[in-house]
Amino acid sequence: MGGRLLRLGAAACIMHRDPKRPIFKGKPLLYLEQGFSEWAMQAGVAVFMLPLLSEAPPAAPALDAWLDTVDGLLLQGGADVAPGSYGEEPLRPEWAGDPARDAYEIALIRRCMEREIPILGSCRGAQILNVALGGTMYQDITTQVPGALVHRDWEIYDTNLHEIDLREGSWLASVYGGAARGVVNSVHHQAIKDVAPGMRVEATSTADGIIEAICWEGPGFAAGVQWHPEWTAGGPPGQLPPEPLMAAFLDAVRERLG
């Protein structure tokens, strides 16, 4: 590495064409949420947003050109995962998700998996990682999981907290010193349903069993957490700190680089 900073590529969030938007009228926008990039950069790495060149999934040569420049892939939160991406129809129009973003991220994920480039996802990032590798989703926790907690409350947003159980002996438990339980924020109305082949469950919501973290069992490294670690700093006290999670991911990145 020659002492250079590690370089992480972040998949972009997409603001689609909107002729009523007051800035960049009618133009599609790509963006990186500031707290998410700072979560990584505070660990002493560089973060670059990976472009979306069109509505279609990027071709392999373009993917490889981008991925040749980065050491790991970060997956942000944001729009719902489209049910069509895991073989379902939307149960409601508002749950149609973002198929274009799905296709872009799924292409990135699958190519990173082939090249064993480490991946870490937050919220939607964990969900699309699961879907890219063959898993499915609950389109809406409230209507599909009887007795579930309120996992998304718009009014209190990332101060909505709950406990999770970390699986004994899991990678995530080791990240947090063998802890069996922790507190996390919750800003999602969708959740992982069927775990993708090759993925293992790392944590679940204590009260209702909703999957809160997954990790790849095969070669390479890929993991996702359902909460937003990037919003923990400065939030309500008592939450699992974000720094150990990023540090453990960067250990996986360095291990690949040798």
Residue pair 10/47 in contact (Cβ under 8 Å)? The answer is yes
- Return the sign of the alpha-carbon dihedral for residues 108, 113, 115, 121: positive
- Reply yes or no on whether 228 is catalytic: yes
> What's the CA gap between 69 and 71, in Å, rounded?
7
Tokens 């603001």 -> residue? 15
> Cβ neighbours of residue 69 under 8 Å, at least 6 residues apart?
7, 9, 48
Annotated catalytic residue within 151, 188, 189, 228: 228
- Reply yes or no on whether 94 is catalytic: no
Neighbours of 17 (CB within 10 A): 11
Tokens of 51: 């472009």
> What's the CA gap between 133 and 82, in Å, rounded?
15
- Reply yes or no on whether 230 is catalytic: yes
What does each C-alpha distance from 145 to 140, 142, 244 come to in angstroms?
Answer: 8, 6, 31
What is the layout of strands, in order, in the sheet containing 7-11?
A: 46-50, 7-11, 72-75, 119-122, 222-225, 211-216, 199-205, 161-166, 181-185
Tokens of 91: 């149960």
Cα angle: 16, vertex 105, 127; to 5 degrees: 100
Annotated catalytic residue within 105, 202, 212, 230: 230
Annotated catalytic residue within 123, 151, 189, 212: 123
> Cβ neighbours of residue 133 under 8 Å, at least 6 residues apart?
109, 110, 113, 196, 197, 198, 199, 216
Q: Which residues are catalytic?
A: 123, 228, 230
